[in-house]
Chain A
Amino acid sequence: KAGVTQTPRYLIKTRGQQVTLSCSPISGHRSVSWYQQTPGQGLQFLFEYFSETQRNKGNFPGRFSGRQFSNSRSEMNVSTLELGDSALYLCASSLIRGPEGETQYFGPGTRLLVL
């Protein structure tokens, strides 16, 4: 079974631009979560989607948004990019059988550099 895939793997943008990152979960997984990893702040939760609904959100500004499609694929968007948005963005998927606590499987990440 194929793992979580993320596209693109690398991205360079300039301040003020917007960016869209894509995540395809493992087949059959219905929950997708997004995380930001930076040297200074570590791994931080952005949001989680299940059946096209955002169920949980981290402490990030409104410039960070996401969505999930009916096939469980997910996208996250960052508008008006700032230098501090440079990070590795990780997507994780899980097979939801109960309300929570399932193992999350991570993709390789998208490395975003904002100049």
Chain B
Amino acid sequence: AQSVTQLGSHVSVSEGALVLLRCNYSSSVPPYLFWYVQYPNQGLQLLLKYTTGATLVKGINGFEAEFKKSETSFHLTKPSAHMSDAAEYFCAVTLLPGGYNKLIFGAGTRLAVHP
């Protein structure tokens, strides 16, 4: 079965430190890949996505992710964490063909940022 694995349900970093959230997928065909963020009591906000083209994708709020087909990974990074980055982050894929906007989500990683 196709799946998305996020390594680490909780990640804690210091303010100003590097943020690295890991995501691996299983699919015989490279899917479309997404990172979403969810703040408490809110819906999901798109951070960035990869469909085709350049494998290093830049998103909002200073986040970026790199698609590595050989490693089936799409890890999310940010050079310097800010307190406002504390939230839950979800990696998701749309499988091709026939995905029709069916997002398959990972279990999520809750990011804590401490002073």
Chain A residues with Cβ below 8 Å from B107 are 42
Q: Who on chain B is nearest to A57 by CB?
A: B102
Interface string of B86-115 (1 = CB under 8 A from A): 000010101011111111111110000000
Which of B32, B34, B97, B108 makes the CB contact (< 8 A) with A42? B108
B84 an interface residue at 8 Å Cβ cutoff? Answer: no
Restricting to A9-63, which residues have a CB under 8 Å from any CB of B?
31, 33, 35, 42-45, 48, 50, 55-56, 58
Chain A residues with Cβ below 8 Å from B34 are 103
Q: How long is the Cα–Cα vector from A55 to B99 in the complex, in angstroms?
A: 9
Q: How long is the Cα–Cα vector from A100 to B103 in the complex, in angstroms?
A: 11
**Cβ A43 vs Cβ B105 within 8 A:** yes
Which of B36, B98, B101 makes the CB contact (< 8 A) with A102? B101
Which of B43, B44, B100, B104 makes the CB contact (< 8 A) with A55? B100
Q: Who on chain A is nearest to B36 by CB?
A: A106
Q: How long is the Cα–Cα vector from A48 to B108 in the complex, in angstroms?
A: 22
**Cβ A100 vs Cβ B96 within 8 A:** yes
**Cβ A101 vs Cβ B96 within 8 A:** yes
Q: How long is the Cα–Cα vector from A73 to B1 in the complex, in angstroms?
A: 32
**Cβ B45 vs Cβ A56 within 8 A:** no
**Cβ A106 vs Cβ B43 within 8 A:** yes
- Beyond A56-B99, A90-B44, A105-B46, 14 extra complex contacts between A and B, CB < 8 Å: A4-B43, A42-B106, A43-B103, A44-B105, A45-B104, A56-B101, A56-B102, A90-B43, A92-B101, A100-B32, A103-B34, A104-B46, A106-B45, A108-B43
Chain A contacts to B: CB under 8 angstroms: 4, 31, 33, 35, 42-45, 48, 50, 55-56, 58, 90, 92, 94, 99-109
Which 10 A-B pairs rank lowest in CB-CB distance, beginning with the nearest? Answer: A106-B43, A43-B105, A106-B44, A56-B100, A55-B100, A101-B32, A108-B43, A56-B102, A48-B101, A45-B102
